[in-house]
A and B are shown apart, each in its own frame.
Chain A
């Protein structure tokens, strides 16, 4: 179980003013459950995932994994304890091939014991995310890949890790409609096989549909946790709320309706 206790995350902006990004978030995420975090742009979803992965350090509060306090552990240590994170904006590498990346990802995967990931096994992960393995396995993870291709490779690397806790940050972004349905079955298979905690950050209704629980974040706070049916009004409401800041800019006649 992954537990967040009173997490606060502040940043100092360019104007030297302190800004609270995550505001006293407490959460318990169980094993064998599917969570979707949703909420308006800028509500703090990616930041929350980064705090769990150790990419950001909370200003205060604690993070516990199966009872162990991991707040002081760095990214590598948390990765080795079994947390994975598919980034909203995947990183490109000149020269590193897709196969290299998958091998690095699978290195700590217990199901491969001490054997390196074989090319055949690597191909299965690529097929799972809808990429023709033969075509992509030796491609460089560089700027020649399209946004959607890169996003799928990012998901494949996380699948290859096979960890107990997996965070996906807007995995559907940039992925075409046809593949989207396959992607959903990938997530469902994943939960079945690993029986771990899967957390997906998403705005997509079809992903909300498969969630055991939806966590609605707004302005760095948890607004509500529950099932989709109970939350639709809140979710829509949160979107409207986030648009409220537009009111602070004096609209000219020409801009009217832009928000």
Chain B
């Protein structure tokens, strides 16, 4: 295990809220520049390294009730490509919050890339809250690239909440999230995204509602600035009596481009699926209202965006 340097500590705090040298409690596994930097396990959450490929297995026991598990990744070495396979095994009845995320600081001229492949195997009656924060910094010409792949297998009567945030500094992202939801289980996905400069972000969601009484709410809120490009693809498949809703709500600025591709596939007479998509610039009357409170046009824009992405 190695000590984190200052840049890595700064990234760590931004993506996970963990302050330097401070142990937040629960289980923790910090990966820095492709290596294990720190690990603590708890009575209810065990973490083991994979032997066949890079990555970890996270074992969350039934006795885990309201504990947190932190698995942040930080990178500050230019030109590095890091691929990691993390599997979460959540036992029946467990209640856990997982704080993941990746921060890349790239001052160099080669691209830095982290691809996290996360799989969740969730037992019955479990409650999983997953929070993932992606962030990039550094002024080199090298790109900061994140391509997360997430796969969720939820049993019966589960609640799975996924919160994915990417607000700044990631040049290129392709996010693929597939979910397979069992009987009476509920999936909530909240994506918040801001792109600027020449960044591109593609999010692809496939949600299969396979069990009777299952439901999904897949919602993306995003702001696209400058010359950035976003594409949001969300496909909900209803294979059973179920309820699915997907929504893309985007604010468009400058020369940016946003594409929303919702797809609904109802394969059961009692599947009820809805999609909504709205893309447009900030409403003029919103800016006017905030200006009447004394904000400048720029301050008003920022306040509207901050609120929208909060």
Interface residues of chain A, those whose CB is within 8 Å of chain B, are 53, 55, 74-76, 79-80, 84-85, 87, 90-91, 93-97, 100-101, 104-105, 107-108, 140, 157, 161
Contacts A91-B283, A94-B249, A107-B293; is A75 near B307 (CB within 8 Å)?
A: no
| B310, chain A: closest CB distance, angstroms | 5
Q: Contacts A76-B296, A79-B292, A104-B295: A95 and B310 contacting too (C-beta < 8 A)?
A: yes
A100 and B289 contact, CB distance less than 8 A:
no
Q: Measured between C-beta atoms, what is the minimum distance from B227 to chain A in Å?
A: 25
Task: Name the residue among A53, A96, A157 with the largest chain B CB count within 10 angstroms.
Answer: A96
Which applies to chain B's interface (DSSP): helix, strand, loop or mixed? helix
Interfacial chain B residues near A96, Cβ < 8 Å: 303-304, 307-308
Q: Is B38 interfacial (CB-CB < 8 Å)?
A: no
Do A76 and B291 touch across chains, with their CB atoms under 8 A apart?
yes
When the two chains form their complex, are residues A100 and B307 in contact, meaning their CB atoms are under 8 A apart?
yes
Q: Is the CB of B303 within 8 A of A76?
A: no
Task: Choose one: B292, B296, B297, B310; the contact of A53 (CB below 8 Å).
Answer: B292
Q: Which residues on the A side are within 8 Å of B290 (C-beta)? A: 104
Contacts of B303 in A (CB 8 A): 96, 100, 104
User: Which residues on the A side are within 8 Å of B293 (C-beta)?
Assistant: 79, 84, 101, 104-105, 107-108, 157, 161
B261 at the interface (CB under 8 A from A): no
Nearest-CB distance from B277 to chain A (Å)? 14
- What would 16 more interface pairs be, CB under 8 Å, given A75-B288, A107-B293? A79-B291, A84-B292, A85-B292, A87-B289, A93-B286, A93-B307, A94-B307, A94-B308, A95-B221, A95-B306, A95-B308, A96-B303, A96-B307, A97-B307, A105-B294, A108-B293
Please, which residues of chain A bring their CB within 8 A of the CB of B10? none
Name the B residues within 8 Å of A91 (CB-CB).
283, 285-286, 288-289
| Chain A residues within 8 Å of B283, by CB | 91
B interface size (C-beta, 8 A): 22
8 contacts between A and B (CB under 8 A): A55-B288, A75-B288, A85-B292, A94-B249, A96-B307, A104-B295, A104-B303, A161-B293
A contact residues around B292 at 8 Å (CB):
53, 55, 75, 79, 84-85
| Cα–Cα, bound, A94→B308 (Å) | 6
Smallest CB-CB A-B distances: 10 pairs: A96-B307, A95-B307, A75-B291, A79-B294, A91-B289, A108-B294, A95-B308, A105-B293, A76-B291, A95-B310
Interface centre among B221, B293, B296, by most chain A C-beta atoms within 10 angstroms, is B293
The yes or no answer to B149 lying at the interface (CB within 8 A) is no
Q: How far is the CA of A11 from the CA of B230 in the complex (A)?
A: 39
A85 and B292 CA atoms in complex are apart in Å by 7
* Bound-complex Cα distance A90 to B292 (A): 12
In the assembled complex, the Cα of A108 lies from the Cα of B296 at a distance in Å of 12
Which residues does chain B contribute within 8 Å of A140, judged by CB atoms? 307
- Give every chain A residue within 8 A of B83 (Cβ-Cβ): none
Distance (whole angstroms) from the CB of A72 to the closest CB of chain B? 16
Given contacts A91-B285, A91-B286, A91-B289, contact A80 B307 (CB under 8 A): no
Chain A residue numbers with a CB within 8 Å of B294 are: 76, 79-80, 104-105, 107-108, 161
Complex Cα spacing A53 to B294, Å: 11
Q: Which residue of A lies closest to B310 (CB)?
A: A95
A55 to B288, CA, bound (A): 7
Residue of B nearest to A89 (CB): B285
Q: In the complex, how many angstroms separate the beta carbon of B179 from the nearest chain A beta carbon?
A: 25
CA distance A6 to B283 in the complex (A): 32
Q: Does B167 contact A (CB under 8 A)?
A: no
Of B221, B285, B291, B310, the most chain A CB neighbours within 10 A belong to B291
Give every chain A residue within 8 A of B308 (Cβ-Cβ).
93-96
Smallest beta-carbon distance A104→chain B, Å: 5
Name the residue of chain B whose CB is nearest to the CB of A108. B294
Q: B103: shortest Cβ distance to chain A, in Å?
A: 24
